[in-house]
Amino acid sequence: MHPVLKLVVQRLALGLILLLACSAVIFLGVEALPGDTAQAILGQSATPQALANLREKMGLDQPPLTRYFQWLGGVLTGDLGTALTNGADIATSIGQRLGNTLFLAACAAAISVPLAIILGLIAARHAGKWQDKLISGITLTTISLPEFVAGYFVIFLLTQDNWLTQGIGWLTGGSGRLLPVAMVFPGMGFWERVNAIILPVIVLVLVVLAHMMRMTRAAILNVMQSAYIETAELKGLSPMTVIWRHAFPNAIAPVVSVVMLNLAYLVVGVVVVEVVFGYNALGQYLVDHVTKRDLPVVQAVGLIFAAVYIGLNMLADVIGILANPRLRHPK
């Protein structure tokens, strides 16, 4: 077997074991939450009789271990069960929400990743000069804003009647004001969806930009200390060519791992942004079900999030290996 293939298979197997461990931890964590589903559903209106009825109906009277293995068996056969709270099929509900989550993450990534890398390259090229300071200053400012503050800022700037939206309206010939609530529905066209999520995409780009940009800059500056870069410079190559052709390929591994971390964040960590813009994706769905102690849903979404996280990190590892000739051709 080719050593790279072997390495990849190894990583995959490790990932699966990790996922199984995650499922157990998720189950334990959910069990440890105070109160149970029946109580959370009935809330202020709980009576002992209603509680007992509901528990029996939901199978909450079974021991936890039995419920864990029943659930795991279901997951392996693609059956996530039905939500305890409203009886909806979990796989169907998650399918649509997951699509929305991935769409938002993909749009934010499509803008932020190239932008961060280009800005990182420019900052490295002009390290220590005003360009570098300007880029670092702006991106560090945006990352320092909590997401909801950034969200309210964009809502204020782009959805209300003010000089900015009037200016945009004058340029584009429309009202220039965007809609604050970014809901997407089945049946909406692709561009309609893109139009609906402009605001959350802007916020997410602002939030993830700095991390990736700083890592690109640091990794390249690190490589720039090497002797072969000096050789390239002495050969008379232009600074941008040196960075792009010689320094960047050797800086890919750390950049990719940071990019993947940010992608994972875009998928699993944006619940605050979802709430601020009323975007109907997986994070809000998870929070709703946590508060109602809807264990099957919480477990299913938790598992999906864990899988995304583990998967993206694995991908970063593999790309890192492939990008590194020394790892690609081990002696």
Partner 1 sequence: MNDKHNQLDWLISRVRKGAMSRREFLGRSTALGVSAGLAGALFGKVALAQEAKKGGTIKVGMQGGESTNSLDPALAASEVPFQVNMTWGEMLVDVHPDGTIDYRIAEEISSSPDAMEWKFKIRKGVEYHDGSTVTAEDVVATLKRHTDEKSQSGALGIVQGIADMKAEGDMVTLKLSSASADLPYLMADYHLIIQPGGGVDAPAAGIGAGPYKVVVNEPGVRHTFQKHANYFDSSIGHADEVEILVINDNTARTAALQSGQVHMINRVDPKIVELLKGVPGVSIKAVAGRGHYVFIMHCDKAPFDNNDMRMALKYAINRQEMVDKILGGLGSRGNDFPINAAYPLFDDTIEQRDYDAAKAKEYYDKAGHDGSPIILRTAPGAFPGAVDAANLFAASANAAGIPLQVKLEPDDGYWSNVWNVEPFCASYWGGRPVQDQMYSTAYLSTADWNDTKFKNAKFDELLLAARGELDAEKRKGEYSEMAHILRDEGGLILPMFNDFVSGVSDTIGGWVDDPNGELMNGRSQVKCWLA
Please report whether residue 276 would count as binding partner 1 according to CB under 8 A.
yes
77 is a contact residue toward partner 1 (CB under 8 A)? no
Interaction with partner 1 in 191-250: which residues (CB under 8 A)? Answer: none
102 in contact with partner 1 (CB under 8 A): no
Quote the Cα angle for 296-301-307, to 5°: 125
Pattern 122-161, binding to partner 1, x per CB under 8 A?
------------------------------x--x---xx-
Tokens of 148: 């909801």
Minimum CB–partner distance for residue 58 and partner 1 (Å):
11
Among 277, 304, 305, 306, binds partner 1 (CB under 8 A): 277
Cβ closer to partner 1: 20 or 88?
A: 88
Least distance in angstroms from the C-beta of 156 to partner 1: 8
Per CB under 8 A, 20 contacts partner 1: no
Binding site for partner 1 (CB under 8 A): 33-36, 39-47, 49-50, 53-54, 57, 83, 85-88, 93, 152, 155, 159-160, 177, 179-181, 183, 185, 275-278, 280, 284-285, 288-292, 294
